[in-house]
Structure 1
Amino acid sequence: MQARKDASIETIHRELVAFARRARASAARMHPQLSLVSYTLLAYMSDRPDCRATDLAEAFLLDKSTVSRQVAALERLGFVERRTHPSDQRVQVLLPTAAGATVLAEATRAARRSVRGRLADWEDADLERFAAYLTRFNDAAPPA
């Protein structure tokens, strides 16, 4: 029994690594100006209007200098702006600009089209199970 479980875990690990590689490689197809990291950070900021750079570093387990470089690149592209937090003038929050929201929406649509295409011939029950398993797997991740 343990050998079967070990083999399954090895397969899952190998497929997750392959998935991560494909995700990074296909990021430019989602939108040519967004890397996978930039897309992920922009989406996170979009979902959290009071997001600070330190929040990004904590959420993604990144060094503050890495986040700083990524945010600066998004600012240069005109996709992110810094604003003073309304209740604490010492704190700067990061917000997608209108251009950032547009590019995020375009990239998200492209990514969903790609996933939809790869899963087009799957049965509804398989899709529901797969979605549930991915959710369960991600919910089991340790907090950042």
Structure 2
Amino acid sequence: MQHKRQLGPPSEDGVARVYEEFVLLVRLLTSGARVEDGGLTLAQHSLLGFIARNPGCRATDISEAFGVHRSTVSRQLRHAVEAGWVEAETGPARIGHPLRLTDHGAQILRRAVDSRLDDVRAGLGGWAPDDLDRFVTLLRRFRAGVDPDARTPDQNDGDCSA
């Protein structure tokens, strides 16, 4: 005899458990290597990933995409330029300078992405292909329920699409 699942709001305990797992997972995957060891912070990783996917973008573009004040982006950009990761090209100052990753910046980003992909690969070790497909489907379904815009992966902070 098959039992029909009852649809309705999830239990508060279930919501809290999912939230806790997401917090722990996000913390794990976004912390990456320690900054002292040459790793990128989440903000740096996001910034470099966005510029890699949008060469020629400006600070205002980044500010709009991330929903943060332009001064926050400017501070992060200043550090990225000083570190040799980002280059500001010449252009009209009133609209901001076009940005691009330097070769060094692209290398730093690639290393960070590879490290985080290694973490995910380790977590998925031993999973059957059907389990992996189901997991991705459930994550996309969850994201669509949280984000009514249902952004595509290329519009996020860019961990994998750098």
Q: 1:111 aligns with which of 107, 110, 116?
A: 116
| Counterparts of 1:9 and 1:37, CA distance in 2 | 27
Q: Give the structure 2 partner of residue 124 of structure 1.
A: 129
CA contact (8 A) 1:78 1:99 kept: yes
Q: Give the structure 2 partner of residue 47 of structure 1.
A: 53
Q: 2:105 aligns with which of 100, 103, 106?
A: 100
Residue 135 of structure 1 and its aligned partner are, at CA, apart by: 2.8
Q: Identify, as 1 or 2, the structure richer in helix.
A: 1
> Given the two structures, how large is their TM-score scaled by the length of structure 1?
0.82
The residue type equivalent to 1:40 in the other structure is: S
The residue type equivalent to 1:96 in the other structure is: L
Identical amino acids, percent of aligned pairs: 33
Alignment root-mean-square deviation, CA:
2.5
Q: Give the structure 1 partner of residue 159 of structure 2.
A: none
| Counterparts of 1:3 and 1:108, CA distance in 2 | 36
In structure 2, list runs of 5 or more residues that go unmatched: 1-5, 152-162
Larger gyration radius, structure 1 or structure 2: 2
CA contact (8 A) 1:52 1:94 kept: yes
Q: Secondary structure at the match of 2:18?
A: helix
Q: Identify, as 1 or 2, the structure richer in strand.
A: 1
Number of residues paired by the alignment? 141
The residue type equivalent to 1:36 in the other structure is: L
Q: Give the structure 2 partner of residue 66 of structure 1.
A: 72
Q: Give the structure 2 partner of residue 34 of structure 1.
A: 40
CA contact (8 A) 1:80 1:100 kept: yes
In structure 1, list runs of 5 or more residues that go unmatched: none
Which of structures 1 and 2 has the larger relative contact order (alpha carbons within 8 angstroms, sep 6+)? 2
> Given the two structures, how large is their TM-score scaled by the length of structure 2?
0.74
